[in-house]
Structure formats: structure tokens, C-alpha cells
Amino acid sequence: MSAATSHTYDRLAGPRERIRIDGIAKQALDTGRVRLIAVAAAFGLCFVVLGARLVDLTLLRAGEPIAVAPAVRVAPLARGDIVDRNGLLLATNLKTASLYAHPRKVLDPHASAAAIARVLPEIDLADLQTKLASDRGFVWIKRNLTPREQDAVNRLGLPGVGFMDEPRRIYPQGRLAAHVLGYTGVDNHGLSGIEKGFDETLMEGAGKPVQLSIDVRVQHALWEELQAAMVLHRAIGAAGVVMDVQSGELLAVVSLPDFDPNQINEATADQLFNRATLGVYEMGSTFKAFTVAAALEYRTADLDRVFDASEPIKVSRYTIKDDHAKNRWLSVPEIFMYSSNIGAAKMALEVGGTRQRDFLRRLGFLSKAPLEVPEVGQPMWPQPWRDINTMTVGFGHGIAVSPVQIAAAFSPLVNGGLMVSPTLRKRNPAVDPPAERVLSSETSEKLRRLMRLVVEKGTGSRGAANGWLVGGKTGTAEKAVNGVYKRNALLSSFVSSFPMTDPRYVVIAILDEPKGIKETHNFATGGWTAAPVTGRVIARIAPVLAVDPVNEKSDEVQRSMTVSARRGRN
């Protein structure tokens, strides 16, 4: 090593010595400096590349789908449970396996599709081959497999095929309350019924369950009796409602034919149609209860009033007549008991169209029922509302409403005059909305006596349930087909309440196009077909609902239910 010494001058210290490095030492120093620069350049290049990639992903490609994780692969969220008023489970979730494939990873699409189709024969082979041969990153093959199906597919050992856990909506009670509950789609969102009406609440997950007003015990009794009557009378459909007249809670809502929400793909359009809430019908003579109530409330008639029912009424090309004409003057109780169309029409005409329409509006007939399900029918009424309409509406033709609306409107007729809003949710008495008075307690008391008279001596005698003091009103309406009423296509109904000394529940049974049988002397009217249904239902549900039986023969009951049905003039 050699070094050369030179001098330089420091302003403070004077001349000082400076050392220069030459030879091997200088070479080593230069080599280290080059290596340091190379390493720094390499790090700098890495940072530039990473920064460029970050800008590319966050700014230049924002919003582009990522092929390896499409949104469809995200399993649906679990929904909250639905229970009846007593906490019995009506709808819940079950974890199941769903089969999917990564087509790009499937080695032999045709052979794999054939193997899967052998263990899942309901799958379309050609469609599956097309899916597996595609260039897509992800495809569903079948959702919600059974454990047996999952095991069979798993044993195939196919590359590119896998399982994903998904929540499946199940209904432990099957078809029992199908139209009330509704059903969900493959994404677990509600598509009808309570499932759709409370979709947002239920999608919040496993929190507090949605509790309904439905009582499974009552629902089963109504369903079973309607089903039996529908078969017996070869009816094309049926509907029924049980409602608490004090709270408005619907304890049972049945529509037949129905469906199994666990097998929704097998349901037909007719099975999916909710006759109890969505269907609107001309209800026939059950509407006479509202006509009498309006006449008593507006004081255009009292129970002693008589009307001439000796001759049919002819209006233009229409004729109003009685099915079982008495051909004489009838008192108001007789009009109600014998279900006289002529008497009801004349009574309605004295009330007048304006007051009749206003009265029916207060009873909820001119707007949709305020229910928590989307399947709610829009009622139909005359426009304009002429005198002929006033008369026909008086006996239940020319206005179409749903069975749930009938149940709600009958409540003030028996509960003292208070209109309660129907609901499918279990209500808290502390926060219940206030009931609206729509008629006087005196009118309600008279209606209760008239309804009891119908069961004791009138067209509803087959609706009796010994010990429960039933009252009600029959209804038989000819259905309009292509604008023409058909005498052999009837909608037969019976609306009843019990116990009539202190009514708590309204029960409705409706049969769509029932056929007469030997036991009914070939009659298919409401008194012969629908009334027996409500009588059997009441006998079954009254003990379950802890309703005390009534001694119908006691002096106290006889006095409270007696109404003069004196004969009108000949």
C-alpha cells in the first residue's frame, strides 16, 4: 500500500494534512460503493413495481368483477324463526349442502356430468354438460342436497366439484299454515306471506322470532274440517277464518287447496292462491247482517217492523226473489231468520245508498284489509251506486270482499259495536291500537239475538255446537261466470260467533262450488254445507281456548237471547 501526503489550509487551525488512498484499498472501496448503489436501485425498482400494481388495482380496475370469487358464491344469510302465539315453531333454518363446480378445473365435463346425473337423476344431463364444459369460474349444480345425495356425489370423487353450506328454510308444520307463512326463494328472501311481509325483519338473522297470532291447534281443527267438507261435497276450493273479536287477532286462516312450502316447486297456481285474504267474493246472505245492522243503527227499522215480501221485486230486466219464499209480510227477525232477499232489499232501500255505502266503509269493506301479508284482495263495489245496487248489496250481491274482511266486519256486530283491525301478529294488550266505535252497543245486542235465532230456528240450525251458544248467518251466492250468474255454481258460507252471551270469536267457513249429497237432500246452500263445518270447529276449539260452556236451557240465557220473531201479516 502506498500513500501520498499533501497539505491543505484550514481557516481556523491553519495548514492540515490530507490522506489519499490508492491501489488495492481504493479498488475495494469502489467495489463496495457500486454494490451499495445496485442494491438501492433494486429496492427502488421493487417499490416502483408495487406502487404501479397498487394504482392499477385500486384506480384503473375499480369495480371490475373478480372471476375467482363471484358474488353468487356467497351463501345466503340465515333468517329469523317464525312461531305461533304459543311459541310453536312454524319456520326455521336448516344447514344443508349445495353442489357447485369450477368448470375450468373439471377434467372431463361429459363424463363428470354423466356421473352426477346418475346419482341426481332429476338434473338435466345436457344442461349440466353445457355448464361443466363452459369457461366460467363457478356454476351451481344443485342447491340444498339431502345428506344421502351429498354422500352419493362425494363418493364420485370428481375434480372441480365441491359443496357449500347454505341455510335452507324449512316449515316443520308442512302445509298447515302455508298461505299465512308463505315461502322463500333460493336466496332465502321471502316471496309471499309473512316471509315477504316481514322479510327485512327476518333477514336480520337469528334474533327474537316473529310471533304470530295463529294458534296451531285452532288452525289444525279448521283445516281438517274444511278439508273433509271439501272432499264430501266435491268443492273446488274452501276458505276459513277464526278471529278474536276483542283483539282482532287471527287464530286460524285456511285456504284450500293449499301447498307444502317445503316443496314449493311442486305447487300449482291454484294451490298458491290465498282464498282467505286475496280472493274477493260476493258473499250472498251473510251481508244481510250488515243490512239489518244499518237499518237498526239509522233507525229506519226496528225489530217490530214488517216488510212486504209477498211478491218478487222487478227492477228493469232484473227480478229479486226469495229462494224459499213465504209469500207474505215478514218482520225483521223473520227476514233475517228465513234469509229473505226481498225483505233485505226493501230494508236497504229505506237506509239509502249514501248511508249504506258510508256504513260499509266504516266496516272496512271499501278498502283493502290491513294485513301483514302482501296477498290482500282489493274489494269491488258498485260505481256508480244506484238504487238497484243498494238493493242487491243489501242481500250480498254486487259487492265482493275477502273472507278476512267479513270476519273483521262481523266483530263489531257481536262485540258491542267496536271495530278492531285484523292482524296476523300476536298483539300486546298494553300497546293495542284503540278500537273505533262503528255502531251502538244496543244494535250489537240486537244482532246477537238475531244471530242466535238463525241457529235456533232458522237456516243455520246445523251450525249449532251444544254448550257453546252459537249464533250466525248463512250465505249462498251464485257465482258470476263471464258476467252471467250460474245457479249450479255456488259460494256457500256460514259466519258464526260464540258464545253469544259474551262473544269472543268469529268463525267463518266457505265452500266454493259444493255439490249436494243424499244427506243434504241434494242442497248445496250454506246452511247445509258450510254451517256444519263451523259447528264442528267450535266444538273442537272452544275447550282448547278455555271458553266456558254455557247452559243453553237456563232461564238467564233464554232471557238474554230471546227475540220476538212474531209472524208478519199474510
Residues 6+ apart with CB under 8 A from 349: 387, 390, 391, 394
∠ CA 303-309-312, nearest 5°, is 150
Q: How far apart are CA 302 and CA 295, in angstroms?
A: 7
Q: How far apart are CA 272 and CA 264, in angstroms?
A: 9
Indicate the SS3 state at residue 190. strand
Q: How far apart are CA 68 and CA 488, in angstroms?
A: 64
What is the DSSP code (8-state) at residue 425?
B
**Quick check: 140 and 204 in contact, CB under 8 A?**
no
At 443, the amino acid letter reads: T
**Quick check: 425 and 253 in contact, CB under 8 A?**
no
Provide DSSP, 24-65: HHHHHHHHHHHHHHHHHHHHHHHHHHHHHHHHIIIIITTT--
Cell numbers at 413, concatenated: 256486530
**Quick check: 226 and 259 in contact, CB under 8 A?**
no
Q: How far apart are CA 37 and CA 314, in angstroms?
A: 114
Query: Among 79, 277, 281, which residue's Cα sits nearest to residue 178?
Result: 277
Q: How far apart are CA 214 and CA 87, in angstroms?
A: 10
Active site residue 285: yes
- With left for phi above 0 and alpha for psi between -120 and 50, is residue 519 left, alpha or beta? alpha
Q: How far apart are CA 257 and CA 363, in angstroms?
A: 29
**Quick check: 218 and 544 in contact, CB under 8 A?**
yes
Read off φ and ψ for residue 82, nearest 5 degrees.
Answer: -120, 130
Q: How far apart are CA 258 and CA 241, in angstroms?
A: 15
Query: Among 562, 34, 430, 517, which residue's Cα sits nearest to residue 234?
Result: 517
Calculate the dihedral angle through the C-alpha atoms of 125, 130, 133, 136, rounding to the nearest 10 degrees: -130
Active-site position among 98, 112, 255, 285: 285
Residues 6+ apart with CB under 8 A from 173: 88, 90, 216
Q: Which residue has the cell 502506498?
A: 2
Q: Which helix (H) or strand (E) holds 96?
A: strand 89-101
**Quick check: 284 and 392 in contact, CB under 8 A?**
no
What are the catalytic residues?
Answer: 285
